[in-house]
Structure 1
Amino acid sequence: MNTQNRHAHGPRWLAALAAGALTLGFGATSAYAAPQAEASVPVASAATAVTAPADDDQLGARPYMGWSSYSMQVYSGNGKWITADQIIAQSDAMHEKLQPAGYEYINIDAGWNDGVDEYGRPTPSATLYPDGLQAVIDHIHGNGQKAGLYLIPGISPQVYEADLPIFGAPDCSTGDIVKQPIQQADYWDIGYRIDFSNPCAQAYIDSIADMLGQWGVDFLKFDSVTPGSGIGDLSLDARDDVAAWSQALKPHGIWFELSWALDIRYADYWAEHAQGWRVEWDVECYCGTEALTTWENIARLFPRAADWWRYAGADRGWNDFDSLNVGNGAMDGLTRDERRTAATLWAVSAAPMYVGNDMTQLDDYGISLLTNPEVIAVNQAGRPAHPVSMTTKQQTWYSMNPDGSATVALFNLGRTDADMKVSFADLGLQGSAKVRDLWAQKNIGSFDGEFTAEDVPVHGTRLFTVTPAKGAAVALNDDDARLSYDGAWSRNAGKETLAAAQPLSVSVFDSSQGGAAPEPGSSNVVAVNDTDSAIAYSGNWGYSSGRGLGDHQDDVHYAEADGAAFQYTFTGTGIDWVTETHESQGEAEVYLDGVLVATVDTHLDPAQGRGVQQVVYSVRDLADGGHTLRVVKKSGQFMLLDRLDVVQASLVDVDGVVFDRAAAADPTVHVLRDPGELVGVYRDGAALKKGTDYSVDGDAVTLSAAYLSTLPDGDTTLQFRFRGDLRDDVHWTADDGAAVELAFRGTAVTVTGPIAPDQGAVEVYLDGTLVDTVDVHDDARLTQREWFAKSGLGKGDHTLRLVKAGGDVLRVDALSYVTG
């Protein structure tokens, strides 16, 4: 026990706690606020007790569907917007309008509790629930629904100081389980961190979870989880809390949902312990009664979905995008097109679909969005989509289905209506295919190689199923959900080779006309303007152009609210943040790969005026590969982004060449990656002709003087493109006997992957029979080489299995088959 509190436990301690009650706002409600003197433990009837789910209905097998109280708490401006009457009204409205479509969870967010019992366990508010919370939970269950509650990490100072006995653990008390010296447990600094090296700590969590199970609770949102929740430097770390709650909730079959903006570096940990996890900040705009959300808060989810999609699935858990607030146009803060776009993003990302609207006020269009059976089927299939590319405002996202079809979502994130073309090759399909519009619930025809969706509106969407014809080829990447892995496998971790490109500056002049050779600049630094679609802005940002102040491309993005941030994921060895400095600006925190690396000051003394295109943060010598820069506004009136300069690894031995028309010669450059990986040389996206415009001899690439003479005087940029592993990723294992398997229906199958010095033998099984042993060892690391191909298979279902049989590692990249 806490040596400062060796006093008898019981009612006098509860009365003392009541006298010092802790009052908190709805956005940061303590899980363990001080109790009322008469607090008691609710007792559930046997009918409301929850048992572990049956094997055929595994908890978390599909994204959950339901409703959360939090958006309406924010919208109402009243942190007590979760009264019994209101929750019962939402349950009844769901039962009538949404439950037939699969919605079943009624989740009560922060603010439901206002005290603790004599064992330090949270007690429901008697003010909000005059007949008891149990009556509300019973009503929810009576409607055939599930009930959820909300807690946060840690233990309140009052419960610690009270040194209360822990229910079911007679030798334990709450004064013994706080980590010493005392540490902050949550983002809001409400509670103390628990010391889980003490077995009494797990007993305390178990006692609360057992109580929730008695009440009939089916769901727990666990908020302020770190790393994440605005803190990624491990100064706060709630992973022990997560593990303890996961262990405690599992016997009761209670869904465990983590919040908010969790750190992706620990994705495997979240998947081990929870059924879902928030990947971004709140979707609410905190606009009072003006709106629930904004388009900007929807748009910023696209980069997060692109980062997180591969970490979700039926055997792992689900990426949570927060409430889907599309049910009432007068409330949502979105246009009709934006509402459908949000619903599409949630659906194709297999994100939990839970409404934030007042369900008693849903409009007809909102109900149609939330109940379309074909769209819900996409969500419940649980195969998160991923983008073909994030470098454009008109984006194609897709996922492959077990029958060989692809679910395809088109998103127009631009400023004008646009025709959007879908290339079947980009989806991994070769040949013709039938296309079905899922929102319209109708077939739109058969197409060969591609089709075009016309007039996709601003911030609008289209959603299709593309089903290949018999005889078409279907290609699957290594991280496709259709592939199953046995044994210990990892993804990338330096074992991948990235596709890359480097510009080469060709400076053309004519010395006979008095021209002088220019000085070509560095070619491995790529400028990324603030308008680039791959930059993810969170919080409220403005855009200003035509400023005439000397900014890059004469424009900037700017934010005024502290906490606003931008994030950019890049491939390279360094990056610069280029912005303005001015008296109106202040400090910003810079995170690299999730770690706080610097706090920079962009304030400039008024006497110095304004600094334009200033490098305020710079890093070099990073490992060549993927990195993420995130910058968060900390102080000042404004924070600006002008551009980012990305430093790429050198792929060519020089930055540029000079061509003199008066002394024409064929310049030669040397590539620094294996020449077998050179895809080609390009100008403005068009490929130069190998053998005519340029030639390759080993690592030497010679540009033809005849071609260069056609270029205009001045600088022209040529681009050297190098192949990488398909989609820049691989799965790999070091364990002999580890395997990957694909079940398919078709008449032919092909395996494509890298060859490398550290690889060896791979056994290939078809339908359970060893048909080949392939040697994928080579002196050079080369990508996308054919390992194995087999045609003439009988029509019907087949299974391909690859087993590591030699070498240090086995890398898996791509499998393809021909439908039959």
Structure 2
Amino acid sequence: MKKTALFLLGLAFSFSGFGQGNNYTQNYKKFDNLALTPPMGWNSWNKFACNVDEKLIKEVADALVSSGMKDAGYTYINLDDCWHGERDAQGFIQPDAKRFPSGMKALADYVHSKGLKLGIYSDAGSQTCGGKPGSRGYEFQDAQQYASWGIDYLKYDWCNTEGLKAEGAYKTITAALRKAGRPMVLSICEWGNDKPWTWGQSVGHLWRTTGDIYNCFDCIEDHGTWKSWGVMQIVDKQEGLRQYAGPGHWNDPDMLEVGNGMPANEDRAHFTLWSMLAAPLITGNDLRKMSKETTDILTNREVLAVNQDKLGVQGFKYASKDSLETWLKPLEGGKWAVTFLNRSRRPQPVRFDWKTTPITDDLSKQELNAAKTTYKVRNLWMKKDVGTTKKAFATTVPAHDVVLLMLTQ
């Protein structure tokens, strides 16, 4: 009788342990105080795809510094797919020894020595999109390995994920990163299929809202079973998502194609819209061979300030007529960014009477009312003051281009 009582007492304590939480309980919350403004950096995929090695990454890190991009705020050097070698006997992932002979820790040390941070790539499935070893079943080992290497950012893709549910899979890698103990930005890259904006805020720091971007201003590339999207197509897919974005949790319309072949006017429009959308600014071009035009676009401090505004409010399309769109973004301190986007192939005149067009943003509760307040108006691409809101603004927007204004009180 005594033994039975002791057994039942022990069983009760055992079950109460499960109910109250113990060593098996996971922390599915991302690291706080990261990506409080949209992350800025570079990623290897758009330009180099699987053709990556440590020499390239070191040279790009050098170029990020020498080009002035680091001083402008770009921080992350993100290594995308195909860096992987095999797993060792214990299951720990290793880098490709031919491409990364010095090892990933040495590469991270080099990037850190430049005052930059290193990002890496994996996949929630059994294989990455490039056919390399994925993290499925190895999440905690991979997180430990990344932490031991000194990784600062993880892009986590969604190929070969047979039977997995996105929210659960991303919570697993978040728990693994927390267990490993090194704070990392988590980029949720499941292409918006499972509406990550509805569950990703506590799990990751940014989430893709669409499929992959394509280096084209206004077109679709059809791969048969999936599509890549031009800049305008991706912009249209952001409709209705702005309420989910804010400091530490951003809608991600994919990486930038600036400098990858579009003309300067289209690059400028692309960069402006990503800035208005409070999108992560992850460039995807060859930083070692940038033209002056590309460098000037990527390092325009006044445009970057629109993207990096600490209020963290995503902009919105206010009006559209004859392929001319008006976009607004409320900023800290009662300022506003205003973009006129010309989607057509011919120049378009624009006239905007500030005094007769009061605007209230229901999300931020910010008001733009030039009948009550006079704002100074500055053209951010011309880097030139262009009057005040006492007078209507009139100009011509070139084809596939923008005019970006800053209004300050």
| Bucket of the pairwise TM-score, normalised by the shorter protein | 0.7 to 0.9
The residue number in structure 1 matching 2:86 is: 115
C-alpha distance in 2 between matches for 1:192 and 1:63: 27
Aligned-partner SS, 1:310: helix
Moved more, 263-272 or 248-257: 263-272
The residue number in structure 2 matching 1:313 is: 246
- For the pair 1:350 / 2:275, whether they are aligned, the reply is no
**Closer, same or farther in 2 for the Cα pair 1:150/1:240, shift >3 Å?**
same
Aligned-partner SS, 1:114: strand
- For the pair 1:91 / 2:33, whether they are aligned, the reply is no
The residue number in structure 1 matching 2:305 is: 377
Aligned-partner SS, 1:106: strand
Aligned partner letter, 2:55: D
Output aligned runs, 1:161-310, within 5 Å.
Answer: 204-224=138-158, 236-250=164-178, 251-263=181-193, 265-285=195-215, 293-296=216-219, 297-310=230-243
Match of 2:45 among 70, 74, 78: 70
- For the pair 1:437 / 2:383, whether they are aligned, the reply is no
The residue number in structure 2 matching 1:778 is: none
Cα deviation code 1:109-139 (max 9, x no counterpart): 1000020012222210001012222222211
Following superposition, the deviation at residue 82 of structure 1 comes to: 0.8
Match of 1:403 among 296, 320, 333: 333
Output aligned runs, 1:523-542, within 5 Å.
Answer: none
Aligned partner letter, 2:405: F
Aligned partner letter, 2:39: Y
**Closer, same or farther in 2 for the Cα pair 1:444/1:84, shift >3 Å?**
same
Aligned-partner SS, 1:403: helix
Gaps of 5+ in 2: 1-29, 220-229, 361-367
Output aligned runs, 1:759-778, within 5 Å.
Answer: none
C-alpha distance in 1 between matches for 2:387 and 2:284: 37
- For the pair 1:103 / 2:44, whether they are aligned, the reply is no
Q: After the TM superposition, which parts of structure 1 deviate over 4 Å for at least 4 consecutive aligned residues? A: 186-194
Match of 1:448 among 386, 390, 395: 390
RMSD: 2.7
Gaps of 5+ in 1: 1-51, 157-185, 195-200, 286-292, 469-820
Following superposition, the deviation at residue 446 of structure 1 comes to: 1.4
- For the pair 1:388 / 2:359, whether they are aligned, the reply is no
* Contact residue 109 and residue 150 of structure 1 kept, 8 A: yes
C-alpha distance in 1 between matches for 2:293 and 2:130: 38
Cα deviation code 1:164-190 (max 9, x no counterpart): xxxxxxxxxxxxxxxxxxxxxx88998
Moved more, 422-431 or 438-447: 422-431
The alignment of Structure 1 onto Structure 2 pairs a total of residues equal to 353
Aligned-partner SS, 1:284: coil
Larger Rg: 1
Q: Which one has the bigger strand percentage?
A: 1
Aligned partner letter, 2:85: D
* Contact residue 149 and residue 217 of structure 1 kept, 8 A: yes
Aligned-partner SS, 1:67: strand
* Contact residue 121 and residue 154 of structure 2 kept, 8 A: yes
- For the pair 1:140 / 2:68, whether they are aligned, the reply is no
Output aligned runs, 1:687-698, within 5 Å.
Answer: none
Aligned partner letter, 2:326: T
The residue number in structure 1 matching 2:290 is: 362
Point out which structure has higher relative CO (alpha carbons under 8 A, 6+ apart): 2
**Closer, same or farther in 2 for the Cα pair 1:334/1:189, shift >3 Å?**
closer
C-alpha distance in 1 between matches for 2:132 and 2:57: 26
Aligned partner letter, 1:356: G
Aligned partner letter, 1:307: G
Following superposition, the deviation at residue 310 of structure 1 comes to: 2.2
**Closer, same or farther in 2 for the Cα pair 1:294/1:236, shift >3 Å?**
farther
**Closer, same or farther in 2 for the Cα pair 1:141/1:237, shift >3 Å?**
same
Aligned-partner SS, 2:308: helix
Question: TM-score normalised to the size of structure 1?
Answer: 0.41
* Contact residue 140 and residue 176 of structure 2 kept, 8 A: yes
C-alpha distance in 2 between matches for 1:308 and 1:352: 15
Aligned partner letter, 2:251: N
Output aligned runs, 1:630-669, within 5 Å.
Answer: none
**Closer, same or farther in 2 for the Cα pair 1:84/1:326, shift >3 Å?**
same
**Closer, same or farther in 2 for the Cα pair 1:441/1:404, shift >3 Å?**
same
* Contact residue 197 and residue 207 of structure 2 kept, 8 A: no
* Contact residue 388 and residue 427 of structure 1 kept, 8 A: no
C-alpha distance in 2 between matches for 1:360 and 1:88: 11
* Contact residue 388 and residue 426 of structure 1 kept, 8 A: no
C-alpha distance in 2 between matches for 1:60 and 1:270: 14
Cα deviation code 1:493-512 (max 9, x no counterpart): xxxxxxxxxxxxxxxxxxxx
**Closer, same or farther in 2 for the Cα pair 1:122/1:392, shift >3 Å?**
farther
C-alpha distance in 2 between matches for 1:235 and 1:103: 37
* Contact residue 123 and residue 135 of structure 2 kept, 8 A: no
The residue number in structure 2 matching 1:151 is: 122
Seq. identity, %: 28
Aligned-partner SS, 1:343: helix
* Contact residue 396 and residue 422 of structure 1 kept, 8 A: no
